[in-house]
Amino acid sequence: MISPDKGFTIGQLTEAKACCEPTPHLSVQNLSINYHQKTVLDNVNLDIYKGCITALIGPSGCGKTSFLSALNRMLDMTTGATVSGQVTFNGENIYKSDKDLLQLRRRVGMIFQKPNPFPLSIYRNLALPLKEIGIKNKQLIEHKIETVLKEVGLWEEVHHQLDMTATKLSGGQQQRLCIARALVLQPEVLLMDEPCSALDPISSAVVEDLIVSLRGRYTVVIVTHNLAQAKRVANYAAFFWMQERVGKLIEFGRSQNLFEQPQNTLTAAFIDGRKG
């Protein structure tokens, strides 16, 4: 039985009342993605709900990462990629021609598979994006840096060495710094592309806990190959699959439904490990 207070998740629920009354935050309509005329993702329709964690699951090459990077138009940076359809964010299609991409990406942050802190100090990694949005007051910058580093649980580990080059941190610390760097701009949505897959199991667990703690305050969309992780963290899940060499959204729904009572036979086979 699905109980609304569980927030449609199988895993533990912390701070997530918002997703019990689903309000679309990002609304995807008829989204198709082509690379050099070849369709990789065909006609996707789905809503990303505010304050919830939505997991995108499916085998490699079925267009999950392309779909994710279409949500903040990072896909524009890939040569040959074209998008049709629309994505509505705060009542506005992000694919309209005069959309301010810098503003969009400050509202919809992104975390990559491989941690990518800039080869600068920890402090500068976090101060640079703040200066870009016009925050010059040193005290305010320091306050914001302390806040986000505490939020990602890195403050205790690094507060005495903020001038150390960020690339010297361990992989898990680097990924948490990257999450902090995205959070410092106070985005509404965080897009995460397999944020734990390049990390060791212990760091991975730390980052996963961090992602769960973001629920309720940020809308999170996470691509993951780890089904167990998707079960633990997600309120909603979307299952992608290749049909006739084209990526398609097969099933989307409450995480608990999708994992425990999948409607589609493909979904059931994938979750059981019979396919994929």
Q: How many CA atoms lie within 13 A of 222 on its CB side?
A: 32
Applying CB under 8 A, does 109 fall inside the site for another protein? yes
Stretch that binds another protein, among 125-133, 234-242, 247-255, 258-266 (CB under 8 A): 125-133
Applying CB under 8 A, does 172 fall inside the site for another protein? no
Q: How many residues bind another protein (CB under 8 A)?
A: 28
Read out DSSP for 135-151? ---HHHHHHHHHHHHHH
Distances (CA, A) of 188 to 11, 50, 184, 185, 215: 23, 9, 11, 9, 11
Applying CB under 8 A, does 164 fall inside the site for another protein? no
Which of 259, 265, 193, 213 lies closest to 9, judged by CA? 259
How many H-runs (helices) and E-runs (strands) does the chain carry?
10, 10
Strand partners, 109: 190
Q: CB of residue 242 vs another protein: minimum separation in angstroms?
A: 25
Stretch that binds another protein, among 11-19, 111-119, 142-150, 224-232 (CB under 8 A): 111-119
Applying CB under 8 A, does 118 fall inside the site for another protein? yes
H or E element that contains 268 = helix 265-272
Applying CB under 8 A, does 104 fall inside the site for another protein? yes
Out of 6, 25, 50, 106, point to the residue binding another protein (CB under 8 A). 106
Q: Residue numbers of the site for another protein (CB under 8 A)? A: 72, 74, 77, 79, 101-106, 109-110, 112, 114, 116-120, 128-129, 132-133, 167, 178, 181-182, 185
